[in-house]
Amino acid sequence: MTEALLMSLSDTVTHVLVGYGAWILPELEERLPERSVLILEEPNVIAARGAHELAARFRCVAALIEAPTQDEEHPERLVAAVPRPRNVQAVIPAVEYAVVAAAALADSWGLPGAGLPAARVFRDKARLRTVADEAGIPQPRWASVHGPDAVERFRAEHGAACVIKPANRQASLGVQLLEPEDDAHALWEHTAGAGEARQRVQYEGADRYLVEQRVYGPEVSVEALVHQGVVGFRNVTAKTVQGSRHPVELAHAVPAGLSAATEAALHDAVQRLATAAGFRDGVLHAEWILGDGGPYLVECAARLPGDGISVLISLAYGGNFVGDLLGLLEGRGPVPSRDPVAGAAVRFLSAAPGLVEAVRGEEEARQAKGVHQVQLAVAAGDTVRPTTSSWERAGQIIATGADGPEAAANALAAADCITVRSVAAPAPASGSAPSASEGDRSGDAPAPAPTEGDRS
């Protein structure tokens, strides 16, 4: 039945979205004709997120089909399951967990894409670290680990302050910053138990972990559009990270406003990384710490950035960042670099853990200087959990300004208008609590969902 449906859509489908990305569908709705988008997603994820009903709201969606989009060891299963639509122009990885499958599909159909080997590199932080080491790109010392004993052995050799993280998750899930006095055995379970039942299918052998030295300094990310291995358009985003064991982003500002020398060093490092990985066509979202001696690689994803950064880039540079990527994946050639014309920033809302009694100040925030968008993820009656990943933030505000710092100040001022009052929540019944990492919300909520990425 699926094959017959796919064949019936062959003439209308021009774009294939690998993974259900709720955030990207409004962008595609503005640009693509009716019944032109085919979405492929794992059946368990479709059921958990109610994706059939959500996708049906968009006229551009032709169908949402069950397919093995997250089987990274055997992407040929997806290639065999999905016949090539006759008029297909582009394959788009819509979520982090579909990057490998999207690359395999694009390769099979002769369309622009990351290339399967490069997609595997950017989906596995240990592979990425290995490639970066071989290319001489500065990064912290690191090791693959399978438990807290290996973490403690690493700390004994390289210093007690370290980072532990899953090798292939998103949204800061399971990432922890350990101080010298911390016990890895006491903290390991949070990292190993980080889950996303609504987003991710658990294939055998998928769980892998890293320990890394701590590097200190400001954090930034580089968003780059790559054509045939050459970086064209690029942007640098400044980050603000919460001061806790869990390094979840509190804010982003575009452009970052760095010195010309620092920006040049970042651009050079991203090009070297793309070349070393053999990345062909698409978008890279690379995160860096500006430590002593220059940029140190944190991690890099081969998909659009989350946390609204795509919106910030569009506001700051003019045009549309997602539209630029679509053109590149459709084979319309490189997207050249251009200068920003304004600043844009996002500030995420926080709330004390507990049961939400009231949320106040939304209208005042909407009227604040430079505000472009206000989104709340909580309302009275919701339960707020400690912010240990991007999924647990309480909302976001996007604002503009003359430059990145002014936009960041406007977003912060608007965020200060909003108050979330919560009280201690009653303890849940045994066995009823959701995953400690996933919390109560999913990427289907209108509030800030990280675009299927690791840190953002």
Beta bridge partners of 71: none
Beta strands in 26-137 (DSSP E): 37-41, 61-66, 90-93
Of the two residues 195 and 403, the one the predictor is more confident about is 403
Q: Which of 163, 155, 166 is nearest to 192 (CA)?
A: 166
Owner of token pair 């989350």: 306
Beta bridge partners of 16: 38, 91
Report yes or no: 103 and 28 within 8 Å, Cβ to Cβ: no
Those residues whose C-beta lies under 8 Å from the C-beta of residue 279, and which sit 6 or more positions away, are 114, 115, 118, 121, 122, 226, 229, 273, 302
Tokens of 265: 């060093």
Q: Dump pLDDT digits (tens) for 151-201.
A: 999 999 999 999 999 887 655 667 889 999 999 998 888 887 655 556 565
The CA-based angle 41-440-353, given to 5 degrees, is: 150
Cα–Cα separations (whole angstroms), residue 320 to 220, 301, 317:
21, 20, 8
Average pLDDT value for the chain: 88
Q: Dump pLDDT digits (tens) for 37-89.
A: 999 999 999 999 999 999 999 999 999 999 999 999 999 999 999 999 999 99
CA 244, CA 236: separation in Å to the nearest integer?
Answer: 24
CA 455, CA 259: separation in Å to the nearest integer?
Answer: 24
pLDDT band at 453 (very low <50, low <70, confident <90, very high): very low
Beta bridge partners of 223: 235, 285
Q: Dump pLDDT digits (tens) for 210-236.
A: 999 999 999 999 999 999 999 999 999
> Where do the domains of the chain lie, and which CATH numbers do they carry?
2-111 (3.40.50)
The CA-based angle 128-134-137, given to 5 degrees, is: 75
Those residues whose C-beta lies under 8 Å from the C-beta of residue 356, and which sit 6 or more positions away, are 378, 379, 380, 381, 382, 383, 384, 420, 421, 422
Give the pTM.
0.89
Q: Dump pLDDT digits (tens) for 284-331.
A: 999 999 998 899 999 999 999 989 999 999 999 999 999 999 999 999
